[in-house]
Amino acid sequence: MIDIPDNFYEKCDKFKEILYKFNTIHSFTTYKNIDDVIEDSIKPLEFLNFYPKNAIDIGSGAGFPAIFLALILKDCKWSLYEPHTKKSSFLNYVKVALNLENIIVYNAKIESCKKFIADFITSRAVMKTKDLLQICNGFYDENTKFLFYKGSSVEDEIQDLNTKIFNDGVRNYLFMEKLC
């Protein structure tokens, strides 16, 4: 298990304040209380046994799970891809407010960006698994690990893929590696 920094929940409280402020204007999320979302975002750290150096989050939206993972995995450089300008502006604001120097926010779809190999790719509720793998082609190799936060239909999406599913009652955490 990866250790949670002492200031993690303090920074989460600051994030919540910022989100609620922005959310009244921009409607980023329907959650009234994101404590469960925070726990959902960091839950996979209980079973991850590696420390990525560079990671990608696809469709970062309001920052779930990337912001919370970046707060804990401080030595990892995070590239967040969010094509909606309002959301990417919000993410940049959060980056500055929380002093997250390990994050770069791209206001773009990942498939239109310059390729590089990441050792960790995450996504939450963006699209089907095979479509996610297709749009991030060129960003992974045989050593890249994937963590997709999926719902109940995950089994239908992963046929013929080398996967592990960790279930926490409601959420399925889809972990994949050695896809090449």
Please report, for the domain that includes residue 35, its CATH number: 3.40.50.150
Residue 121 lies in a domain: yes
Residue 9: CA count within 13 A, CB half-sphere? 5
Q: Which burial class, exposed, middle or buried, applies to 170 when counting CB atoms under 10 A from its CB (0-12, 13-18, 19+)?
A: exposed
* Helix orientation angle between 85-97 and 8-26, rounded to the nearest 10 degrees: 150
Residue 93 lies in a domain: yes
Give pLDDT, residue 180.
63
Query: How many distinct structural domains can be found in the chain?
Result: 1
Domain coverage including residue 50: 7-176
* pLDDT grade for 108, boundaries at 50, 70 and 90: very high
Residue 1 lies in a domain: no
Residue 66 lies in a domain: yes
Please write the tens of the pLDDT for every residue from 15-68.
999 999 998 898 888 888 899 999 999 999 998 888 999 999 999 999 999 999
Residue 2 lies in a domain: no
Residue 42 lies in a domain: yes
How far is it, in rounded angstroms, from Cα 133 to Cα 67? 22
Whole-angstrom Cα Rg for the chain: 15
Q: Residue 116, annotated ligand binder?
A: no
Residue 120 near residue 65 (C-beta atoms within 8 A): no
Q: What is the mean pLDDT of the chain?
A: 91
Residue type present at position 64: F
Give pLDDT, residue 114.
97
Count the residues in the chain: 180
Q: Residue 63, annotated ligand binder?
A: no
176 Cβ contact list (under 8 Å, min separation 6): 145, 146, 148, 158, 161, 162, 163, 164
Q: Residue 124, annotated ligand binder?
A: yes
Residue 72 lies in a domain: yes
Does the reported pTM lie above 0.85? yes
Q: Residue 110, annotated ligand binder?
A: yes
Residue 81 near residue 113 (C-beta atoms within 8 A): yes
Q: Residue 64, annotated ligand binder?
A: yes
Strands 120-124 and 103-106: unpaired
101 Cβ contact list (under 8 Å, min separation 6): none
Residue 139 near residue 79 (C-beta atoms within 8 A): no
